Every structure is written in structure tokens, then in C-alpha cells.
Amino acid sequence: MSSNFTSHFNYITLVFLLIFCKGCLGATFTLTNRCDYTVWPGILANAGSDKLDSTGFELPSGGTRSFQAPPGWSGRFWGRTHCTFDPNLGQGSCATGDCGSNQVECNGAGAEPPATLAEFTIGSGTNSGAQDFYDVSLVDGYNLPMIVAAKGGSGACGSTGCITDLNRMCPNELRAGDGQACKSACEAFGNPEYCCSGVYGSPSTCRPSVYSEIFKTACPRSYSYAYDDASSTFTCSGADYTIIFCPSLTR
């Protein structure tokens, strides 16, 4: 078999995969910082999913960085803010969204609440119609605006997130630090009815609270409490995803 024929065959195979089985390739996540300050994104792969090329990094204002995730990957992204890291040792911490690793990389640790979270489960298998599931969650509180937009997929593929600055309207009893973040009622008070735990651990017993309603009114497409599924979970097939911090500054 000639090298020209082999190259042509490989090209045709690649085109076929791209057209008919895009979901087989997983998804590309592109993180963009439209804040007028630096954000340090954190990335946590769920149990059973491989970690991506980084678990935490610095993203200056206007910066963008992309990651390729395999089919079946699940995990979350968030933004850490007001961070201080030693330029020589790389050690330090963040005022919001800190993962407790004492490093720029989170190394398998999640965000300390309160933090705005983008959560994903990418479809798996060779079925090009396998659905991705994604959401933006305020269940663990809020620290900065964020949206998720799907690109190139099929299905509903809606954009979701929170463009409102909840820190400005956060009730005093939920305010974290110097107003740099807004706690969930569960984090602030620990009551089972706010945490959807104990006898409140089901959709029929855990209902929206006056505090979760504040989040929901400001950000109607985001999760405001644990069982806020109906208006907060989004699906798409074979898409790539853009995660934008401070999207209201996007032109």
C-alpha cells in the first residue's frame, strides 16, 4: 500500500469521525477570563475520570486556555480570586475558591465554599448522540459571575450561568470575608432544611428557601439548592464548551 493511499485513507477516516462521531472525541473546554482582574481557575475530575492537563493555573484578565477531555469525563471548574502565590516557590492561597493545596495546582482538591461551580458529565461511547450534562451551581455559594456556552453540538445546548454580581446583593448573614463572596444558607447556618440532609434529604422534603430564592431570582438558570434540577440541568450532544468568568464584560 503506497504512502499516498495510506495518508488519503487516514484523512478520510478522520473526516468521517469528525462528521459522524464527534462525541467519540470527548469535548474541548475553553476557559476565558473577562474579569478586570486575574482569576486562578481550579479543575477537579470526579472519581473515575482522568485529570486534565492542569488542576489549577493563573489566567490573567483577557486570557484564554483550552483543555481536551475524553469521552465519559466528568468534573468541575471554578475560579479562585484574590490569590497570592510566592513567585519562587509557587506556594500561597486564595481569598475565595481556595482548594487548600497551598499551590497554584489544586492536585485533586475541590473548591472551599463559597464558590461558583461549572459541572460537566461528557457523553461516552461510540454513539454520536450520547448526551453531555452540564450546569452552573450556586449550591456551594457564589464568588464570581460565570457562564457556560455550548458550541457545535446538537440538541437543546442552552447557555447557562450567572451574570449577576451576587456579592453586591448578598444578605449580611451570608457575606463571606470582606464581601468577596456569598455563602449558601447551608454553609452559613448548617440547618438540615437548607442542606437537604437528614429528613430533608429528598426532592419532596427539601424545598427552596428564602435564601435560595434570592440566588434563583438573580440567576434563574443556575442551581440555587440541591434539588433545583428542572430549570438548571442542561444537555447537548457532541459539543465543545466555553466557560467565561465575568461574562457581562464580554463584548
CA angle 249, 179, 222 (to 5 degrees): 55
State which amino acid sits at residue 251: R
In the chain, count of helices (H) and strands (E)? 5, 13
Query: Is 126 a residue whose pLDDT tops 80?
Result: no
Identify the three-state secondary structure at position 67: strand
Predicted pLDDT of residue 21: 53
Identify the three-state secondary structure at position 96: strand
In angstroms, the CA 149 to CA 203 distance is 28
In angstroms, the CA 104 to CA 95 distance is 13
Can you tell me the mean pLDDT for 89-111?
Answer: 95
In angstroms, the CA 234 to CA 155 distance is 10
Query: Is 48 a residue whose pLDDT tops 60?
Result: yes
Name the more confident of 234 and 19: 234
Can you tell me the mean pLDDT for 82-111?
Answer: 94
Identify the three-state secondary structure at position 222: coil
B/e letters for 17-56, b = 16+ CB within 10 Å, e = fewer, are eeeebbbbebbebebbbbbeebbbbbbbbeeebeebeebb
Paired strand residues for 30: 66, 242
- Show the cell assigned to 146: 460565570
Domains of the chain: 3-249 (2.60.110.10)
Residue 12, number of CB atoms within 10 A of its CB: 10
User: What rounded mean pLDDT belongs to the chain?
Assistant: 90
Can you tell me the mean pLDDT for 86-104?
Answer: 93
- Show the cell assigned to 55: 488542576
Predicted pLDDT of residue 147: 98
Query: Is 233 a residue whose pLDDT tops 90?
Result: yes
Q: Are 23 and 123 contacting, i.e. CB atoms less than 8 angstroms apart?
A: yes
**Please, which pLDDT band fits residue 88 given cuts at 50, 70 and 90?**
confident
Phi first, then psi, for residue 163 (nearest 5°) are: -100, -5
User: Hey, what's the torsion of the CAs at 98, 102, 106, 107, to 10 degrees?
Assistant: -150
In angstroms, the CA 64 to CA 222 distance is 23
